Amino acid sequence: MSPTHRNDIYAGTEVGAADDVTHPPIPAATVVLLRDGEGGVETLMLHRTSKVHFGGMWVFPGGRIDTADHEAATDLQHAARIAAARETLEETGLTVMPDEFHWFSHWTPPPSTARRYATWFFATALDQDDEVTVDGHEIQDHQWIQPELMLERHRTGEVDLVAPTWVTLYQLSRCAPVAELLRRLKSKPHRVYETHIAERSDGSRVAMWSGDAGYAAHDADAVGPRHRLVMHVDGFVFEHDATEY
């Protein structure tokens, strides 16, 4: 078996697993908090402790959608917004308004992933002087950082990122300032990422999404359009043909 990248969260997932090998997804939500810094767009990243799921990873604020979130909501998207705002308050001490969120993507892991979080991704802008307070239990540290700098730290092995976070940071790094970035996100429909895992003939594991030539057949060597994250043991490489990224 070829070595895998330390952040390949799909490492235990069977390559090309049939869709009927399914663990029910757990509804979850996260919100990307944005502000304009001196060097460009910044986003709030949280460092999870080793005691919790995704321990040691740098993430956006968020978590699972609870029963109480549904009780206060009119539909699933509303519940996701409420959950993202609640989790943000619990994890950072920041009060954010769910009705100001923009929904820009939804991520679902492969069917055979042991713990599947089907996650709504929202984005919103914050003022410069908002104070962040982490609890030290689930979250041990935080940082406002430019998305491209976070990606560079991942490349050098300084930080750990899961695939949805990595791809989202890549998307955020493509536009500035915050007003223009949000305008760009709002100008197109939200993206749905239902992940398929495959392995190239050279042993590299690949996460693929709709639009990739190998997506339907779980064929990482298929010739054609690209929409995938190649998870080399020495780093992630995003391959895509979409001009809007």
- Asked whether 37 and 143 are in contact (CB, 8 A), the reply is no
Q: Residue holding tokens 């757990």?
A: 26
Q: Which amino acid is at 158?
A: E
pLDDT less than 50: residues of the chain: none
Residue 229 bridge partners (DSSP): 207, 238
**Confidence (pLDDT) at 57:** 92
Q: What is the dihedral of CA 193, 71, 186, 91, to 10 degrees?
A: -80
Ramachandran sector of residue 137 (left: φ over 0; alpha: ψ -120 to 50; beta: rest):
alpha
Whole-number Å distance between alpha carbons of 221 and 5: 19
DSSP, residue by residue, 60-129: -SEEEPPHHHHHT-SSHHHHHHHHHHHHHHHHH-----GGG-EEEEEEE--TT-SS-EEEEEEEEE--TT
Say which residues have a Cβ less than 8 Å from residue 17's Cβ, sequence separation at least 6: 110, 111, 112, 197
Nearest of 84, 43, 63, 54 to residue 170 by alpha carbon: 43
**Confidence (pLDDT) at 98:** 97
Say which residues have a Cβ less than 8 Å from residue 59's Cβ, sequence separation at least 6: 30, 45, 46, 48, 162, 165
State how beta strands 205-208 and 227-232 pair. antiparallel
Report pTM: 0.93
Q: Which token pair is 138?
A: 């689930």
Tell whether omega for the bond before 177 is within 30 degrees of 0, i.e. cis.
Answer: yes
**Confidence (pLDDT) at 49:** 87
Whole-number Å distance between alpha carbons of 105 and 32: 11
Q: DSSP 3-state assignment of 240?
A: strand
- Asked whether 15 and 197 are in contact (CB, 8 A), the reply is yes
What are the structural domains of the chain?
26-189 (3.90.79.10), 195-245 (no CATH)
